């Protein structure tokens, strides 16, 4: 069971989280209003395509991307969250900043997706204060430094221990286990070999007894495997999402919702619970 504010999921089937970027590089940059309108239209389209939840992000987390201020992040995402009030799918806010979490949750978001796993001061409290879910993700380093020669003795073990510790911190802060999702953080301070080891070893995270979310959509590891650049990674992304759910992932974070939903329908027809 996953509790996301007023939304409850029994997780008898995997969920598709659609990605809505509200960053200047993702939509033609015709000013704040046009950007919010484009993101809203995109969000509504993803819900129509079968997204179970949406992840709204105003800060680019690409390797090397520059951080943005809380004020800028709020300007970007708040019109989108407010515009989606009453939507049939829960909204997740992709942020590490407690100020942004509080504003988004007050405006009706039901989940916080934090690539920093609530390690910023006040982040645990910001989530604990309400009934939203949280995704705790593993990252080595920061988006600015994470591609600098990451080294692990045993990547599955190290990610597992980090996530177990962040789950414990979240529970101590008052976030019930049924509100917690974990994510090994594909691509965040990991080489291709680390990412493949995590995908192969994904089953190990089931021991933590909370849903596992996986984000592989269009990522550079798929570029390395296929030789395709970012706009031609749909097929690899669908294959990766399917492999992840076969290995126990309960939520897949994707750009291409319709294709992923169809692939999961085929999987379910063959492998019904
Ligand atoms: C093309 C498109 C190339 C996207 C790279 C990317 C995750 C995440 C991101 C994830 C969770 C990304 C916010 C990176 N990835 N949140 N966020 N899990 N929970 N890169 O794997 O999509 S952003």
Residues lining ligand 1, judged by CB closer than 6 Å?
Answer: 57, 61-62, 94, 113, 115, 135, 137, 183, 185-186, 213, 215, 218-219, 230, 253
State the pLDDT at residue 31. 74
Q: What's the 261 CA to ligand 1 centre distance in angstroms?
A: 19
Q: Closest ligand 1 atom to the C-alpha of 187?
A: 21
State the pLDDT at residue 142. 85
Sign of CA dihedral 166, 168, 171, 176: positive
Tokens of 249: 């992932």
Measured distance CA(92)–CA(264) in Å, rounded: 21
State the pLDDT at residue 123. 98
Q: What's the 215 CA to ligand 1 centre distance in angstroms?
A: 6
Q: Active-site residue numbers?
A: 219, 253
Helix (H, G, I), strand (E, B) or coil at 137: strand
Q: What's the 94 CA to ligand 1 centre distance in angstroms?
A: 10
pTM summary value: 0.97
Tokens of 155: 């990547």
Cβ density class 60-83: b for 16+ within 10 Å, e for less: bbeeeeeebebeebbbbbbbbbeb
State the pLDDT at residue 156. 98
Half-sphere exposure of 105 (CA within 13 A, CB side): 23
Report the topology of domain 2-270: TIM Barrel (3.20.20)
**Helices 192-200 and 155-172, packing angle to 10 deg:** 70
Residue nearest to atom 2 of ligand 1 (CA): 218
pLDDT tens, per residue, the chain with 273 residues: 999 999 999 999 999 999 999 988 654 456 778 889 999 999 999 999 999 999 999 998 777 778 899 999 999 999 999 999 999 999 999 999 999 999 999 999 999 999 999 999 999 999 999 999 999 999 998 888 877 889 999 999 999 999 999 999 999 999 999 999 999 999 999 999 999 999 999 999 999 999 999 999 999 999 999 999 999 999 999 999 999 999 999 999 999 999 999 999 999 999 876
- For the chain, the structural domain boundaries read 2-270
Give start and end residues of each alpha helix (H) in 67-189. Answer: 70-83, 98-106, 123-128, 155-172
Q: Which residue has the tokens 């598709």?
A: 16
């Amino acid at each position: 069971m996953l509790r996301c504010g007023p939304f409850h999921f029994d997780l008898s089937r995997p969920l598709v989280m659609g990605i809505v970027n509200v960053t200047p590089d993702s939509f033609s940059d015709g000013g704040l209003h046009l950007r919010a309108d484009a993101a809203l239209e995109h969000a509504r389209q993803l819900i129509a395509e079968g997204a179970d939840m949406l992840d709204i992000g105003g800060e680019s987390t690409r390797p090397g991307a520059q951080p943005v201020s809380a004020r800028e992040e709020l300007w970007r995402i708040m019109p989108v969250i407010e515009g989606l009030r009453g939507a049939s799918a829960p909204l997740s806010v992709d942020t590490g900043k407690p100020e942004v979490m509080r504003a988004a949750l007050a405006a009706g978001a039901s989940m916080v997706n934090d690539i920093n796993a609530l390690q910023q001061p006040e982040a645990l409290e910001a989530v604990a204060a309400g009934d939203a879910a949280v995704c705790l993700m593993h990252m080595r380093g920061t988006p600015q430094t994470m591609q600098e020669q990451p080294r692990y003795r045993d990547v599955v073990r190290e990610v597992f221990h980090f996530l177990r510790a962040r789950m414990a911190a979240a529970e101590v802060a008052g976030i019930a286990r049924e509100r917690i999702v974990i994510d090994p953080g594909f691509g965040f301070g990991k080489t291709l070999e680390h990412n493949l080891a995590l995908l192969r070893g994904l089953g190990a995270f089931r021991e933590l007894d909370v849903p596992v979310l996986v984000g592989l959509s269009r990522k550079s590891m798929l570029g390395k495997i296929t030789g395709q650049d970012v706009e031609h990674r749909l097929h690899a992304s669908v294959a990766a999402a399917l492999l992840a759910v076969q290995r126990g992932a309960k939520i897949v974070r994707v750009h291409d919702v319709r294709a992923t939903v169809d692939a999961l329908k085929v999987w379910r027809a063959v492998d019904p619970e």
